[in-house]
Each structure stands twice: as structure tokens, then as C-alpha cells.
Structure 1
Amino acid sequence: MSPRRNPLLASATGPKPAADCIALDALADRARALDALDQRLRSLLPAAVARETRLADVRDGRIVFLASDPTWASRIRLHQATLLAEARTALGGTVERFAVKVAPLPAVPPEPAKPKPLSAATARHLRAAAKALPDPELQALYLQLASIATDDSD
């Protein structure tokens, strides 16, 4: 008599080989496309609903939104006809179903801060350093950097 095997354990094969996984550039392209579609669809929503929901996925003819709690899930469902119509327009009519899941929303990274401009003193120091450099290519880079200072009066 053979011992019974657990089917869950029998089918576990471990991690996939890297060659069987989606390429990183394809994954990044999909993320960018989903982000653009998310922004396009949420622009149709009232500001409060747009703030509390995110597009999570588009797959097999279905768009899936995340809502931060059941109240927002109910509110976005009121707009599902509009969202489906816009998704069909954006994706070529392949979207037929709409789903909302309640889950914590992923954090949206803040807009990157604008870099502080270079001061005139910094530009002077960069020019002085450039004069001391023997490598002409590096010297040109230092001078180019110095040229973007805010007050280039010296």
C-alpha cells in the first residue's frame, strides 16, 4: 500500500527559472501602460472617489480597481459604465467586465522635488576645479555644469 501524497506538495516545483519569467523591460512597459490607463480612468471620477481608488489590473477582458474601504468600492461601482466605456476606447473594445476589491491602496510616490539651482559661488568653484583638471573631457563637463548656475555674472 503506497502512502497518500499531498497534491499541494506534489505540484510545488519551486521558483521559476529566470528564462521563464517575463522580461524586465516588458514588465516596466506594462506598469507604465497600467499607470497611464489608471490616470485616464480616474480623471473621469469625482476627486474624492479618484483619491480613494486605483486601477489594479486589466486581464482577460476585466478591469479591476482597488478601493480603500467598502464605501469607496460602492461609489466607484456607480461609475462603472463610464469607466468600462473609456477602457474599451483606450484598449480597443476588449474590456467587458468590471470588478472592485477592497484593499489598502498602494502608496503613490510623491513628485520629485525640483533640484536647487547652483549658486554663483558654486559656479566659481566648478570653474576653478575645471582649470586644475588635466582631462579635457572632464574639464568640459565641469564647465558645462558651471554654466547652469543661477547668477552667472562672474
Structure 2
Amino acid sequence: MSNSKSQPRRAVASPLPALQAALSDATANPVRRALWLDTLEQQFRPLLPPALASHCRLANVADGRLVFVVDSPVWRAKLRLAAPELVERAQSVGLAITEVTAKVVAQLASPAVSDSPRKPLPMSTASREALQAALASLDPPGSAGTPTASGRGSRGRTKP
């Protein structure tokens, strides 16, 4: 008899859900901190003026400061006006907060979504000739170039 038949089989543990697995490890501190910051933000968001709430987000709590990120200097100034109330609220939930700071983070401009595709603008004659000259400079040495609609080759020479 072999040893494999005489030993009882081990039960296979079912896999943990992703969040539970992430939080059960020693490396979970960043995940726990992110969740904690998200909870704090949800507590502070109602205290912000409605217009400001859509332009800022709690980024960190460090060294007695609440650090928010905003998308322009205007919202940074408006957040500064709301700072005393935010400090009070932070202290009421047990945080040793003495100030609120804001960092301006430029948002990447996303292209405007439109219902109809934009038509390209017509190219001027000078632009077309400059483009043809640039393309001709890419031709390998000794090639005659390709004829264009103007009747000239890509190197700007007329046909014989």
C-alpha cells in the first residue's frame, strides 16, 4: 500500500473574496488607510459648499493637517474659507487636526464628446506644399518621387 491512501485528505479552503484577501495580509495597511480616508471624506463632504464639493477630494491626513486636492486655485481659496468648520468637524471625530491645506492638481483636458464627428479644416496651398516637401525629404535617395495632383513629383520637379 502506498502512503497516499492511508493519510486522510485535506479539505481545500475556498478562496477569499478579493477585498478580504487584501485586508488579511500584512501589506493591507495602504488598503486600510485608503478605505479610512474614503470614510473621512464622506464625513467631510456634506460640510463643504455644494459647488466646492464637486471640485475637491480629501487626499491625506498627516501632521495635524487635512490635505485636500482641488482642480484650480479658485477652489483652493474657497476651501480655505471652509477650513475652520472642517477643523472643528475633524476634532469632533477624534482627529488631532489644526489646519486644512489644499493642493492644486491640474486635470487632464479630455476631448469634448460631440454627437457628430468634426470635419477637418481645408489645408491651405502653402501648407500643402510644405507637407509635400517634408514628405519628399523622406524619400530614399535616387527615387524619383511620386506624382501628386498638382502634376509635380514629390520632390517638387515638374514632369517631363
Question: What is the TM-score normalised by the length of structure 2?
Answer: 0.49
- Identical aligned pairs, as a percentage? 37
Corresponding residue for 2:79?
Answer: 76
Corresponding residue for 1:99?
Answer: 101
Q: Secondary structure, in 3 states, of the residue corresponding to 2:48?
A: coil
Q: Measure the CA separation in 1 of the matches of 2:107 and 2:80.
A: 17
Give the letter for the 1:37 counterpart.
L
Q: Measure the CA separation in 1 of the matches of 2:86 and 2:67.
A: 11
How big is the alpha-carbon RMSD for the aligned residues of Structure 1 and Structure 2?
2.0
Q: Measure the CA separation in 2 of the matches of 1:84 and 1:37.
A: 12
Q: How far did residue 23 of structure 1 move?
A: 3.8
Residue deviations 1:15-43 (CA, integer Å, cap 9, x gap): xxxxxxx9431211110010010111111
Distance 1:103 1:59, change over 3 A: same
Residue deviations 1:78-131 (CA, integer Å, cap 9, x gap): 1000011111122x141112211111469xxxxxxxxxxxxxxxxxxxxxxxxx
Answer 1 or 2: higher relative contact order, Cα 8 Å, separation at least 6. 1
Moved over 3 A (4+): none
Give the letter for the 1:30 counterpart.
R
Q: Secondary structure, in 3 states, of the residue corresponding to 2:47?
A: coil
Q: Secondary structure, in 3 states, of the residue corresponding to 1:100?
A: strand
Q: How far did residue 58 of structure 1 move?
A: 0.2
State whether residues 83 and 99 of structure 2, in contact with CA within 8 Å, keep that contact through their aligned partners in structure 1. no
The answer for unaligned runs of 5 or more in structure 1 is: 1-21, 107-154
Q: Measure the CA separation in 1 of the matches of 2:105 and 2:72.
A: 7
Q: Measure the CA separation in 1 of the matches of 2:63 and 2:26.
A: 20
Give the letter for the 1:45 counterpart.
L
Q: How many residues align?
A: 84
Q: Measure the CA separation in 2 of the matches of 1:82 and 1:53.
A: 16
Question: What is the TM-score normalised by the length of structure 1?
Answer: 0.50
- Structure with a larger share of its residues in helix: 1
